[in-house]
Structure 1
C-alpha cells in the first residue's frame, strides 16, 4: 500500500501555486485531498523559505469541507480543540486524537476480518451469506475513502468467484446510488 512510499513532495511557489514534484504539474487542494484519501502521505514545502506548510494546508482542506457543510468534526470537538490551545493542554490533544484515529482504523479492519472469518457460527443462519455480502459491500463503499482501510479481505474472497465479484459490484453500485439518494434527501432537510 501507499504507506510504505515516501511522502509526495508538493512545493509551494511564491505565487502560492502548488507543484507536484512527481508528476511535474500544478495541483489544487482538491487534488491533494484526493491523494490523502487514497492513502498517500503528502509534504508541502515553501520553495523559497523551505518551511514545512503541510499542517496549514491540511487544516485548510478540513476547513473547506466544513464550509461546504461536510461536517468532519462536531462543534463540541471543535470547541474542545480551541479550549485545549488556551488551557495549555494542547500537548496531550494531538496524541489523543492520533491514538483515537489509530483505534478507529484498527477496529474497522477487525470488523471486516470478522465478517469474512471462516468458520462463522452465524453462517448456518438462513440468508446469512447474502447479508454478509451486503454488509461487506456497504463497508467497502463507506470506508473506501478512509486511509489505512483497504478492504482486501473482501477482494481475496472474490478472486475465486468471478461471477460473485460481478454480482457484488452490481450490488455495490446499487448501494452507492441509494447512499447518494439519501444524501440528497438529507441535504434538503
Structure 2
C-alpha cells in the first residue's frame, strides 16, 4: 500500500497503469496524463498508482516521473549539487535516514511557506531576507533532530560528536573545520556587500 498523505482524510484515488503506459483514473472512469496527476498533487488529492497487470504499487516511480517531466520543462527545483549528494546516499549506511530527513524538512518548509511568502512580499525590491530564512532553517533542523532522536538514540550522539570534532580537547580545530569557517566568513562578507550595494 502506498504511503498516504496524512493531511488528507479522503481515501486515496486508485490510478491504474496499463502496458501501453496509459493511466486510468478509477474514480472518474477516464484516462489521465502525467500532467493531470501533477495537478492532482498540487490540489492535495491523494492517489496510488497500480500496475494494471500485476497489481504492484508503482506510485513512487510515477511521482518520480512527474518530477522528471517538470524538471525537463525548465522548472528546476533540484540543484545539481543536491542531486549529486542524494545519489551518494544510495547504498550508504545512512540511507534509511535520508527519506525521513527529506520528508520532515519538506513538511516543515510547507508549513512555513506562507511566512516565507510574506517575507518576500515585504522585501520586494530589497535584498532577499537571508537571516529570516536562515533562522527558519535552523529551527527546521532542530525539530528534525528531536524527531529522529525519538526513533534512534544514536542520532542524539551525532551532534555531540560533531561538537567534539569541531572543538577537540587540545583546542586545535581540524583543518576541515578551519576551511568551513573561512568559507562561511567569505559568504557572510559577500552577503553584507550585496546588502550595502542594495542600500
Same fold (TM over 0.5): yes
State whether residues 35 and 41 of structure 1, in contact with CA within 8 Å, keep that contact through their aligned partners in structure 2.
yes
Moved runs in structure 1, 4+ residues, more than 4 A?
A: 109-112
Match of 1:54 among 59, 63, 74: 59
Match of 1:31 among 19, 22, 36: 36
Task: After superposition, give the CA deviation of every residue in 1:30-81 in whole Å (9 maximum; x if it has no partner).
Answer: 0000100111111000111110010000001111111121102111111111
Q: Runs of 5+ in structure 2 lacking a partner?
A: 1-6, 125-199
Match of 2:95 among 71, 78, 90: 90
SS at match of 2:15: strand
Q: Distance in 1 between matches of 2:43 and 2:16?
A: 20
SS at match of 2:28: coil
The reply to whether residue 105 of structure 1 matches residue 107 of structure 2 is: no
Look up the match of 1:124: none
Look up the match of 1:161: none
TM-score, length of structure 2 as denominator length:
0.53
RMSD of equivalent CA atoms: 2.3
CA pair 71-49 structure 1, distance change in 2 beyond 3 A: same
Structure whose alpha-carbon radius of gyration is higher: 2
Q: Distance in 1 between matches of 2:115 and 2:8?
A: 19
TM-score, length of structure 1 as denominator length:
0.56
| Shift in Å, 1:111 | 6.2
Q: Runs of 5+ in structure 1 lacking a partner?
A: 116-130, 135-189
